[in-house]
Amino acid sequence: MSLEIGKLKEKPKAIVIGSGAAGLASAIRLAQKGYAVDVFEANAYAGGKISVVEGKGYRFDAGPSLFTLPQLVTELFTLCGEDPSGHFTYHRKEVACHYFWQDGTALKAWADAKAFAREVEEQLGVNARIVDRYLRDAAQAYEATHTLFLESSLHRLKTYLQPAVLKAMGHLHKLYLLSTLNQVNQKKLKHPKLVQLFNRFATYNGSSPYQTPGVMSMIPHLEHNLGTYYPKGGMHSITTSLLGLAKRQQVRFYFNERVEEIITERGRVSGVRTARGSYKAEVVFSNMDVVPTYRKLMPTAKAPEKTLGQARSSSALIFYWGITKQFPELELHNIFFSEDYKGEFEAIFEEQSVYADPTIYVNISSKEEATDAPPGCENWFVMVNVPANTGQDWEALTARIRQQVIQHLSKRLDTDIASLIAFEELLDPRSIENKTYSYQGALYGAASNDPLSAFLRHPNFSWQFSNLFFCGGSVHPGGGVPLALLSARIATALVPDV
Ligand SMILES: Cc1cc2nc3c(=O)[nH]c(=O)nc-3n(C[C@H](O)[C@H](O)[C@H](O)COP(=O)(O)OP(=O)(O)OC[C@H]3O[C@@H](n4cnc5c(N)ncnc54)[C@H](O)[C@@H]3O)c2cc1C
């Protein structure tokens, strides 16, 4: 025992600020590299946005609900020499999403690309070859570019000497960098409902399809070729399983201990300061949103103003509703589209407000895990896209949207939804910011509404301090659980092995 402690003492120290998905993944990877890792977390719990809400027999995943690229979680277990199946399991979903329009049209988006194309032909009368071709193009573009754009640092010269660059260049014309996603979809899909369905993928990184570049047309490849998954125990099991794994790698967690300063000395970071004291480290990782990392933890450092000044991605208003009835017509993921998608995104990104009759996302994990709701009931996570918080009157907006959502869903499902709500909690942009320190409560850091968004995100390292690194949804390669996990992989690869 004393020998082991002796060994630990000899290891160089790494500190991770925050235990979101990327903070946990970075801590695990740094421990594997031979560092003694301490994680400081402001909350009493790990996981950041991947947490839970519970009450009256209902359990809800508080944040993310759509799970793609599960191998990015399991590779962390394999990296540590563990069999992931003993700790984290998941199954593939046959139906990626159930879509509903206000005129009564409904469509099941099968994860299998061929089945999806057939369903589109049956429900919308669009030849299956159109969706088939769209998804084939998306697959080719993704395969040609993901190594460069999602798995490498875009801010290191070395990256541009890789064969991946040549491969990506060969597919430049399929990246549609000079068109918007909506323009690409209009051209390729034409049918207004199909265009709306594929425009929706812009919301996967909190952007507007009318502004985000056409390169986002490769996102459907994740759902319809690679598939969507459901982790046993819900999304929260990503947090619990990675926390357990990190602890088995001897990572130490300091909960309820917010970092207040990153201490810098002569071009290097020497450690961090919390209300309880100062801690030294050879390497510091910030999993805190990059804007408050600069503004609050190192206000005197040279901040990359252009990067930090970018408009934020959308945020969300979420109602966690315990519903005393079951709806067989609903799936795990359900979308009830608004009539005017363009108006909806203009309201969010230009007026910083919420459209009168917004698109509604309903996630029901009790469809997969019956114990998430009492018998005969369902746990509804009801989400509407809203702008990031710039001081709007959220009380008034929430009251208005709640009414609108109840009215819309009651009509579509032919049931008085208000009378079925037995439990209710709320999350809005302000509470997202309070709970996770995400600047303005944005879900995905900066919005990707610029053709150069990929290059405008903050790198995974600091230009100023050689031993300071960044991971998480607000830095490269972007927001969402898979990209946050990739940010940890990219950032830790930049740290020397011990
Ligand atoms: C409502 C909602 C729905 C979403 N839906 C999806 C989805 O369906 N699919 C998907 O892939 N993604 C989704 N996302 C996005 C996804 O949740 C995030 O991109 C991802 O979880 C971000 O992880 P992160 O590593 O950046 O850390 P975060 O989850 O942002 O956590 C950061 C952590 O750092 C801690 N921290 C911050 N500052 C300090 C400090 N100074 N000291 C100590 N600790 C600090 C915070 O307390 C927090 O625990 C959603 C997000 C939300 C909120």
Do 208 and 149 sit in the same domain of this protein?
yes
Domain identity same for 407 and 469: no
Domain termination site, one of 192, 227, 262: 227
Check whether residue 218 and residue 239 sit in a common domain: no
Q: Is residue 209 part of a domain?
A: yes
Burial class of residue 431, CB neighbours in 10 A (0-12, 13-18, 19+):
middle
Residue type, 241: S
| Residue range(s) defining the domain that contains residue 142 | 94-227
Task: Tell me what pLDDT residue 145 has.
Answer: 83
pLDDT at 308: 96
Residues near 177 by Cβ (< 8 Å), separated by ≥ 6?
213, 214, 215, 451
Q: Which amino acid is at 215?
A: V
> 275 and 176, same structural domain?
no
| Among candidate residues 302, 308, 269, the one with its CA nearest the CA of residue 495 | 269
Q: How many domains does the chain have?
A: 3
Say what the pLDDT of residue 4 is.
47
Write the DSSP assignment of 272-340 as a string of letters: EEETTEEEE-SEEEE-S-HHHIIIII-TTS---HHHHTSPB--EEEEEEEEESS--TT--SEEEE--S-
The pLDDT, as a whole number, for residue 172 is 66
At residue 317, the pLDDT reads 98
In whole angstroms, what is the distance from residue 273 CA to residue 436 CA? 19
Q: Is residue 10 part of a domain?
A: yes
Closest protein CA for atom 37 of ligand 1: 288
Q: Please indicate whether residue 259, judged by its CB atom, sits closer than 6 Å to ligand 1.
A: yes
- Please tell me what DSSP assigns to residue 496: P
Write down the pLDDT at residue 1.
37
The C-alpha atoms of residue 336 and residue 454 are separated, in whole angstroms, by 30
Instruction: Evaluate: CB of 348 within 6 angstroms of ligand 1.
Output: no
- At position 443, the amino acid (one-letter code) is L
Ligand 1 mutation pick, 436, 460, 474, max ligand atoms within 8 A of CB: 436
CATH code: domain of residue 23: 3.50.50.60
| pLDDT at residue 177 in the model | 75
Residue 142, domain member (yes or no): yes
Q: How far apart are CA 316 and CA 435, in angstroms?
A: 14
For ligand 1, whether the C-beta of 432 sits within 6 Å is: yes
Distance, C-alpha 66 to centroid of its chain: 9
Q: Say if residue 166 is in the same domain as residue 286.
A: no
Query: How does DSSP assign 199-222, residue by residue?
Result: HGGGGGGT--TTTSBGGGGGTHHI
Residues 324 and 205 in one domain: no
Q: Does one domain contain both 107 and 192?
A: yes
Same domain, 325 and 412: yes
248 in a domain, yes or no? yes
Q: Is residue 44 part of a domain?
A: yes
Residue nearest to atom 14 of ligand 1 (CA): 64
Is position 13 within any domain? yes
Per-residue pLDDT of the chain (498 residues), as tens digits, is 344 444 445 899 999 999 999 999 999 999 999 999 999 999 999 999 999 999 999 999 999 999 999 999 999 999 999 999 999 999 999 999 999 999 999 999 999 999 999 999 999 999 999 999 999 999 998 988 888 778 888 777 777 677 766 677 677 677 777 899 999 999 999 999 999 999 999 999 999 999 999 989 999 999 998 999 999 999 999 999 999 999 999 999 999 999 999 999 989 999 999 999 999 999 999 999 999 999 999 999 999 999 999 999 999 999 999 999 999 999 999 999 999 999 999 999 999 999 999 999 999 999 999 999 999 999 999 999 999 999 999 999 999 999 999 999 999 999 999 999 999 999 999 999 999 999 999 999 999 998 888 788 999 999 999 999 999 999 999 999 999 999 999 999 999 989
Does residue 447 sit within a domain? no
Q: Are residues 305 and 321 in the same domain?
A: no
Does residue 219 sit in the same domain as residue 319? no
Burial class from Cβ neighbours inside 10 Å (0-12, 13-18, 19+) for residue 132 reads middle
* Model pLDDT for residues 198-215, shown as the tens digit of each residue: 999 999 999 999 999 998
Where a domain ends, among 193, 227, 261?
A: 227
Judge whether 71 lies within some domain. no
Helix axis angle for 128-149 and 163-170, nearest 10°, is 150
State the pTM of this model.
0.95
Pairing of strands 268-274, 259-265: antiparallel
Distance in angstroms (rounded) separating the CA atoms of residues 491 and 424: 39
Ligand 1 contacts CB of residue 481 (under 6 A): yes
Query: Which residue among 49, 50, 222 has the greatest number of ligand 1 atoms within 8 angstroms of its CB, and so is best to mutate?
Result: 49
Ligand 1 within 6 A of CB of 479: yes
Alpha-carbon Rg of the chain, whole angstroms? 22
> Does 266 share its domain with 301?
yes
Strand-pairing partners, residue 12, are none
Please give the pLDDT value at position 151. Answer: 83
Other beta carbons within 10 angstroms of residue 430's beta carbon come to 15
> Ligand 1 within 6 A of 316 CB?
yes
Chosen domain end from 198, 227, 256:
227
Residue with tokens 């008085």: 416
Residue 164 is predicted with a pLDDT of: 67
For residue 219 and ligand 1, the question of a CB distance below 6 A is answered with no
Q: Residue 2: its pLDDT value, please? A: 40
Residue 297 near residue 262 (C-beta atoms within 8 A): yes
Q: Is the CB of 50 inside a 6 Å radius of any atom of ligand 1?
A: yes
Question: What pLDDT, on a 0 to 100 scale, did the predictor assign at position 3?
Answer: 42
With a CB cutoff of 8 Å and minimum separation 6, the contacts of 433 are: 389, 439, 440, 441
Residue 48 in contact with ligand 1 by CB distance below 6 A: yes
Q: Note whether 191 and 289 are same-domain residues.
A: no
